[in-house]
A and B are shown apart, each in its own frame.
Chain A
Amino acid sequence: MVENRPLATVTTHVVLILGIVFLCFPVWVALVASTHPGEALARSPIPLWFGTQAVENYTQLLTAGVPAAGGVPLATMMFNSLIMALGITLGKIAISLLSAFAIVYFRFPLRMLFFWLIFITLMLPVEVRILPTYDVIASLGMLNSYFGLIIPLIASATATFLFRQFFLTIPDELVEAARMDRAGPIRFFWDILLPLSRTNIAALFIILFIYGWNQYLWPLLITTDQDLYTIVMGIQRMVNVGEGIPIWHYTMGTAILAMIPPVLVVLAMQRLFVKGLVESEK
């Protein structure tokens, strides 16, 4: 701020507070709704302060699920989401580190072809090629399995690109020194490149974890087996139960449970998250 203008300062704070209210209000409503019995949410206006059913509702959700929507315990769904998110995250980081290393530190025939092959994937979100991708998974027998949930999503141009950019900034002297000490490429990768990339890996981990946890369409297509449902796609069945059965308190409880892990990751590792987000998009 250049000069002192009290009025402008007040306006600034008002704008920020209004923004926060707009962003937080839906979650507040959901959180409150999840602590009431179903009947309290049957007529308008719904309560805006906490009810007394929080423990009962969440116990029911986590251990038994919502009977009207299949009755899968949310603990199972959250476990599936966790496996999927971690699988996607670790898989993406591992294969992109390797391929970025190959592209930056080696000269070999067809190098540019491979480079472009990887970058084309940047352009094609799953949503636009749903059917043929589904056919491929089906013919490989990967429907209803963790492999089917994870492997198709681990090819990532974004992560490869990020690591490539980072590797290019590492001084050549390190490679020269390593070669003078007779270190081979594997040794160089393991003892020098990997430790140097630690911060980047951590930042990327956060972004990819959120990406993996929040997958919706993919689990929707791949899983017909209830035991493999993930929480973000599982909520869709509760929404579609209809107006007749009052389960909004469960639906909102599910929404809260589904957003807790990724939101916690963002809040706990805010600095790394901002770094990861700003850098992975460049």
Chain B
Amino acid sequence: MQKRVVFRHRWLPYLLLAPQIAVTLIFFIWPAYQALETSFFLEDVFGFNRTFVWFENFTALFSDGSYLRSFWTTLIFGLSVTLLSMSTALALAVAANRVLRGKMSYRTFLIWPYAVAPALAGVLWFFMMNPSLGIVAYMLESTFGVDWNHYVNGRQALLMVIVAAAWKQISYNFLFFLAGLQSMPKSLIEAAAIDGASPARRFWTICFPLLSPTTFFLLVVNLVYAFFDTFAIIHATTSGGPADATAILVYKVYSTGFVGQDYGSSAAQSVILMALVIAMTVVQFRFVERKVQY
């Protein structure tokens, strides 16, 4: 899409673009290139020598059991967070779209967690599930007899970060689902009601299919959120533990590079993640283009 009427100037547009391009080149393109380059080298521990090793860093990763496990962890984590936060948000949005009284105050109470930092969401749930004094851990113990200790039990630790990450994301999904529901043509729903369709049937045969663009958009956004933005939740609470049970891929990049000081491997992991992000963004862009057409 282009403007018909434009200004003519020899150097002004370059001047206007300069700050953005400078920051992009220095802090985005250059580091990305560096990651790509480093991923093909093997560096000695002191950082004096490095040898070109082709794809050795990559093949080493894919034959490394802990990295492959991290893939699984990330997948389970991402899908659980997405499913949990989207289904809860959809239920809340449908309810909020239905009420007549107190609409605004309900919405107010449902959207504020968007502003809570992921790190803080992690810390809040970390406190609530603390094995010795957390309120949720206490309730689980006294009501269901569950022995909650995420310091030693990897599954429980993973469940904790999933709940914390999903909790933070509900508001976001809620707002988009609500916007989608409100833009739906009322006449369709009224027509179905006249034909005697029950509310549940109306939802599954009309609203849910019509929401599919929103749902698909949120699916991609939530997966990106779960894969990358949840670093803070994990770093601030479990630090990937116990025994790597919550070490998702972004956490691995950090721990391999900064803690393990293995730059080549960390860079190779960065490159893999970049490829993943780019793939997801392309999917999203294609979808956006399609949405624009109708």
The answer, yes or no, to whether B175 is at the interface (CB within 8 Å) is yes
Tell which of A42, A103, A130 touches B133, judged by Cβ atoms closer than 8 Å: A42
The answer, yes or no, to whether A82 is at the interface (CB within 8 Å) is no
The answer, yes or no, to whether A108 is at the interface (CB within 8 Å) is yes
Residue contact A277 to B123, C-beta cutoff 8 Å: no
The answer, yes or no, to whether B124 is at the interface (CB within 8 Å) is yes
Residue contact A236 to B32, C-beta cutoff 8 Å: no
Tell which of B6, B107, B126 touches A105, judged by Cβ atoms closer than 8 Å: B6
- Complex Cα distance, B16 from A279, in Å, reads 24
We find that the number of chain A residues with CB closer than 8 angstroms to chain B is: 107
The answer, yes or no, to whether A131 is at the interface (CB within 8 Å) is yes
The answer, yes or no, to whether A102 is at the interface (CB within 8 Å) is yes
The answer, yes or no, to whether B19 is at the interface (CB within 8 Å) is yes
Residue contact A27 to B231, C-beta cutoff 8 Å: no
The answer, yes or no, to whether B258 is at the interface (CB within 8 Å) is yes
Nearest B residue to A111 by beta-carbon distance? B13
Query: Which residues of A lie under 8 Å from residue B199 when comparing CB positions?
Result: 5, 8
The answer, yes or no, to whether B20 is at the interface (CB within 8 Å) is yes
Nearest B residue to A270 by beta-carbon distance? B108
* CB-CB contacts below 8 Å: B9-33 with A: 9, 12-14, 16-17, 19-21, 23-32
Residue contact B253 to A127, C-beta cutoff 8 Å: yes
- Complex Cα distance, B96 from A20, in Å, reads 11
Residue contact B27 to A103, C-beta cutoff 8 Å: no
We find that the number of chain B residues with CB closer than 8 angstroms to chain A is: 101
Residue contact B267 to A235, C-beta cutoff 8 Å: no
Query: Which residues of A lie under 8 Å from residue B172 when comparing CB positions?
Result: 277
The answer, yes or no, to whether B60 is at the interface (CB within 8 Å) is no
Query: Which residues of B lie under 8 Å from residue A232 when comparing CB positions?
Result: 117, 119-120, 232
Residue contact A266 to B115, C-beta cutoff 8 Å: yes
A contacts with B: majority SS: helix
Q: Which of A72-80, A194-202, A251-259 contacts B (4 or more CB under 8 A)?
A: A251-259
Residues 1-12 of chain B: 1 if any A CB is under 8 Å from the residue's CB, otherwise 0? 101111111001
Nearest B residue to A97 by beta-carbon distance? B16
Tell which of B12, B116, B175, B221 touches A185, judged by Cβ atoms closer than 8 Å: B12
Residues 21-65 of chain B: 1 if any A CB is under 8 Å from the residue's CB, otherwise 0? 101111111111011001000000000000000000000000000
Nearest B residue to A173 by beta-carbon distance? B5
Nearest B residue to A167 by beta-carbon distance? B3
Residue contact A263 to B115, C-beta cutoff 8 Å: yes
Residues 117-134 of chain A: 1 if any B CB is under 8 Å from the residue's CB, otherwise 0? 110111111011111110
Residue contact A20 to B7, C-beta cutoff 8 Å: no
Q: What are 24 A-B pairs at a CB distance below 8 A?
A: A2-B189, A5-B199, A13-B95, A30-B127, A43-B133, A94-B19, A95-B20, A102-B14, A106-B12, A107-B6, A108-B14, A117-B21, A117-B29, A123-B274, A127-B250, A128-B273, A131-B267, A140-B26, A185-B9, A188-B7, A217-B232, A252-B127, A262-B116, A278-B176
